[in-house]
Structure formats: structure tokens, C-alpha cells
A and B are shown apart, each in its own frame.
Chain A
Amino acid sequence: MWLLQLAWKNMWRNRYRTLITMAAIFFAVILSVIASSLKEGIFNNLVKNVVSFYTGYAQVHKRGYWNEQILDNSFETAPATEQKILRQKNVAGITPRLESFALVSSGDVTKGSLVAGIDVEKETAITGLKDKLVQGIYLKSTDTAILLAQGLAERLKLKVADTAVLIGQGYHGATAAGKYVVKGIVKFGSPELNDKALFMPLAAAQDFYSAYGMVTSYVLSFNNTAAAEASVIAMRSSMDSSYEVMSWGDMIPDIKQHITADSNNMKYVQGILYMLICFGIFGTLLMMMVERKFEIGMLVAIGMKKIKLMVLLTVESILTVFAGCIIGLLVSIPVIYYLNRHPLRIGGETAKAYERFGFEAIFPTSTDAAIFINQGLVVIAMGLLISLYPVYKVIRLNPVAAMKK
């Protein structure tokens, strides 16, 4: 206890030096927490935007479907399978889809389109399809009507209440043909989807493709989207081998790569930040040891065990680092929460580019507790590492030499 008190008093023997050291740590922690949290936030937002277009955070297919996306690779829906998936940890919801291609014509215009037979209620719960509606009304499960993506509707010159003719190839080579009323127009950020997508209730699609009781995929949503990858890995081992479970990263690898590359860049920036801080702290520690050389020699001379002295000096530097770190974290928490509620908003060309893809050009911070904990731990580890220097000096200390003028 008295050792702790002495450490505390020593800490304040040169008030400015200690305050400057603490301030350096304080700013390092704040900067790095904000940077990490913005990075996480931006990536989470990006992923959320991208996956909510269409793919969802994860999908379950019949094994081999992703490589060869044809109706013959569909599987039979079974409530038992759905229940089994829903019982998996972290899984929040599930929606079935029957996806294939068809030619859509209206008048003398014909376009290829991506047809998705959907469970209308569950689909909107997971991908928010209803919110993308710009004209008309949303589907009911008993409808034999369709929703058209805006770009596709424009190309076909179709409006709400018009009729479209669909022709395609059904399950096991059956012919698929039908006439459908356009019930609504949906708008997608992704140009690819906006020019191709067509939705109809699952029953109507199964009927159209003669694929009764069949689906090509289950789209999943998670309670904790950050743990999506881990949940997918867990599911793979518990699911029957006739299914394949894919995460958004497996289905959209380019986004995943982009995030990994950016994360790595961020790590370098943070590494440099930490290195600067390390040198700063080390410098003040060096000064301190020179200043106290005689005193430390005197303490060993009168009989203070070196181990006690090491504890004393380590506690001093750890207290300084801790204080700076804790204050930094405490200050950064409200800042991060504020930036989460009131995200940074960008303007100009970049914003337009974002909006073209259907993203809002906002950058919310992530309030994931792991960020604060990780940054705090890194700084404390740094402090511990640096405080090895005085320990090393004490090990080598010779009181006679230290007390020489």
C-alpha cells in the first residue's frame, strides 16, 4: 500500500511531464477509437447496404447451386428444415426464394429478367423489399401479379396495372409461360438489379416454373450481423451435407476483399500512431530515469530490494498510461455515441456516387464495445512494454555507479 502511495507521489513529482504523457495517451486513445469505430461503422453500413439489396447476410442452397444456378438445383421446402435452421444460434429469420430467369415482354420489347419467387411477408422482413416500392402496392401471397424493378419497367415501358408476358424454362425442362399484372415498381441502388429484377409470390413462381414445393434458396437474417461469418461456419457443420451454407462474403467476395484491404491500411495508420506515442512515452521515461538515477541508487544502497523498486517504477508508468487511457476511453464513448446518432454526412460528387448505388452517404460510427476494449488493451500493453525499460535499468543498477557524481 505504501509502495502504491509512493508511486502516486512520484507520478506527480514532475506534474507537467506526467500530464503531457497522459495527454499523449489520451489523444492516441481517442483518435484510434474514433478511427476504428468509424472504420467498423462504415464497413458495417456498407455490408448492410449491399446485403440488403438482395443476398442477405447468408443463404442456404442445395449443394452445388451457387456454381450452377439452375432450377434443377432447387430443393423441396420442408418446415422441418426451416425450423432446424431457425433453431441455429444467432439466426433471426429465414425466407425462401425460388429464383430463375425468364424473358419478359410487353408490346414488341423483350428483356431477360431475374425472376424471384418470394414469401412476400418474410422477404420484406429480411431485405426490406416493401420499402423499395416507388409506385403501386406491395404483393400479397395469393396474388398472381408481379413487382418490377424500375429500370426493367422503363425498358419495357410498363407501368402499374399493365400486363407483362413471361416466357421461360421450367423445372425438369417444362415450358413456363404466363401473363402477369404489374402491381408495383421497386427501385434498387444496384444498377444490375434495377435493370433485371422481377418479383412474384412464391406460389405463383412455383406454378409458373412447374416447380411445386421447390425453392432455390433460403435467405437468412441474424440477430448479431457482426457474427454472421461465425454463425455460418457453425451452421456448416450442423447442416446436412446436401445443403451449402454461404455467407455474404462468399457470395460477394469483391466487397469482402475491399473491406479486408481497407482494414489492413487502417492497421498501418494505427500502428504508426501507436509508435509515435510509444516514442513519446519512452522519451519521458528516459528523462525520468536520468533525473532519478542518484535517488534510485540511494534506495538500493540503503536496502530497498530491486524487485520492490521495479514494482514501484512499473506501477508509476502503468498508472500514468492507465489514467490517460481511461480518460481517453471515457471521453471517446460519448463522442462515438454522438457520431452514431448523428452520423457524419458527406456531400458533393462522392455523395452522388453513393446515392446512385442506393446508399445514403452517411458514416455512422460503430458502438461495438470490443472496439473500446481492444484499443484500451493495446494502449495498456504498450505501457507495460515500455515500462520494461526502467525494470531493465534497475536490474543492471549498481548503487555505487549510480551515486557517482
Chain B
Amino acid sequence: MNTVIDAHNISKVYNPTTIPVYAVNNVHLHLQKGEFTALVGPSGSGKTTLLNMIGGLDRPDEGNIFINGIDITKLSANELISFRLQNIGFVFQSFNLIPVLTAKENVEFIMQLQKASKQQREERVKTLFAQIGLQDKLNERPSRLSGGQQQRVAVARALASRPQFVLADEPTANLDTKSAFNLLDIMARLNREENITFLFSTHDQRVIDRARRVITLVDGRIVQDTAEVSTQHEEAAAVKT
């Protein structure tokens, strides 16, 4: 097995001197290549905080986070930016795209940051837009795309850089049911067919149902992780035979 994310008792405390808020409290998390994992929990349970730390956008107050064996808590701010560019794909809740660029240019943008050649970019854009089913919207600006289409372009943008994994913080929160399912279908298919690793947070039960693994956070602690359950099942099964 191939461990992509390995977080060791990470914690994040806000207002440590006044009224401390343990946004993330001593969390352990392992993610293998090819997982399709939902991070769930009530509002304020620490989902965003945890994702930001794993994505190298925020630093934990305690603990270490290894991405493909590299401890990102040891990287400088500038190193982190480059690290994110090369290793992590991001899909945010909304406003993922640069409004003055077309859908295609938005996807190309991240490859330009990576200094990919024109030919490489063209090929990748073609594949990705086929995968998200928006070949006919290549030259549209974000304002002319629906919310669901914008999120699909954001997924394409996140994949364009060939990251180790994709982080998505409530990617469907602003979408209607149909668009939300559509986006999830695309993500699930990319996961199945291309073995892309996804870690996304959500409130939406229908989205949770599609996940292959569900991690539940309450008050900054992991209270349930279906991966562990299934592992226990497997162990139990192994013992029986």
C-alpha cells in the first residue's frame, strides 16, 4: 500500500491565551493512494481547519504531517507554496476560478505556474475537459458557466497539475442536488478510473453516501472512521477462517 497522507497527533488551538478553542484536537489520519474519503461532522467541528493543515495552507500547533514521506510542517512558507503547486490539488467551495480567464485558461494557468510546455498543456486540457464533460465550454469565462460547471472546471484545474491528492472543502455546498451529484459522479469516476485520491469535507448526506470511507469529526476529534471499521471487519473475518 502507498501512504499519501500521514498526520500524527495534530492539534490546532485558537485563542490559546484567552478562551482556547481546540479546532483540531490530537488527530491521527492516514490516507492511502486511491482513497475516496469524506470528512464529515457538524458545523464548527474542525473540518476546514484539518483540511487546511493537510493542504499546507495552515500550520498545526502540534504534530507532524507527512505527505509522501515529506514533513510539510518543517517547510518554510515559500517552500509550502511550491509544495502545494506540485503536490496538492484544491477545490474550494466557490470562486475557484480567475474571472478574467476562460475555463481552458484557468486550467492551463496552474500548468503555466509549473512551466509546462504549450503542447503538454493542450493535451492535458483536452483530456481533462473530456473527463468533466465540458469540451464545449472551453472558451467560456466563469461568469458564463453554471455553479456546477464552475466546480467541474475547478476539479479539472486541481487535476491539471497531477497532484498527489485532491482536497475539496465542501465542494458541493453551493450546488443544487443535480449538479452536486453530477460533480460527485465525476470525482468518483476519476477516482475509480484514474486512481485519483480525493479527500473532501461535506455536510450533505447524499454526498456522504457516495464516499468509500467516511471520517467523522466532532469538536476537533475523530469520533468515527469507517476505514477502521472495515479493517476490523476484515480482521474479524480473517480470525474466523
Contact = CB atoms under 8 A, between A and B. Distances in A.
Interface string A1-35: 01000100110110000000000000000000000
B92 A10 contact: no
A303 B82 contact: yes
Given A6-B101, A10-B100, A305 B92 contact: no
B113 A303 contact: yes
A295 B99 CA distance: 9
Contacts of B137: none
Interface in A44-60: none
The interface size bin for chain B is 20 to 34
Given A6-B101, A399-B57, A303 B84 contact: yes
B96 interface: yes
A19 to B, nearest CB: 16
Contacts of A400: 52, 57-58
Chain A interface helix/strand/loop/mixed: helix
The interface size bin for chain A is 20 to 34
Nearest to B86: A303
A63 B8 CA distance: 91
B72 interface: no
Contacts of A301: 55, 57, 84, 90, 92
B81 A300 contact: yes
B161 interface: yes
A303 B95 contact: no
Contacts of B58: 400
Interface of B: 52, 55, 57-58, 78, 81-82, 84-86, 88, 90, 92, 95-96, 98-101, 109-110, 112-113, 157, 161
23 contacts: A6-B98, A6-B101, A9-B100, A9-B101, A10-B100, A295-B95, A298-B92, A298-B95, A298-B96, A299-B98, A301-B90, A301-B92, A303-B81, A303-B85, A303-B110, A303-B113, A305-B78, A305-B81, A305-B82, A306-B78, A306-B81, A308-B113, A400-B58
Given A303-B84, A303-B86, A400-B58, 18 more contacts: A2-B109, A6-B101, A9-B101, A295-B95, A295-B98, A298-B95, A300-B81, A301-B55, A302-B85, A302-B110, A303-B85, A303-B113, A305-B78, A305-B82, A305-B113, A306-B78, A400-B52, A403-B92
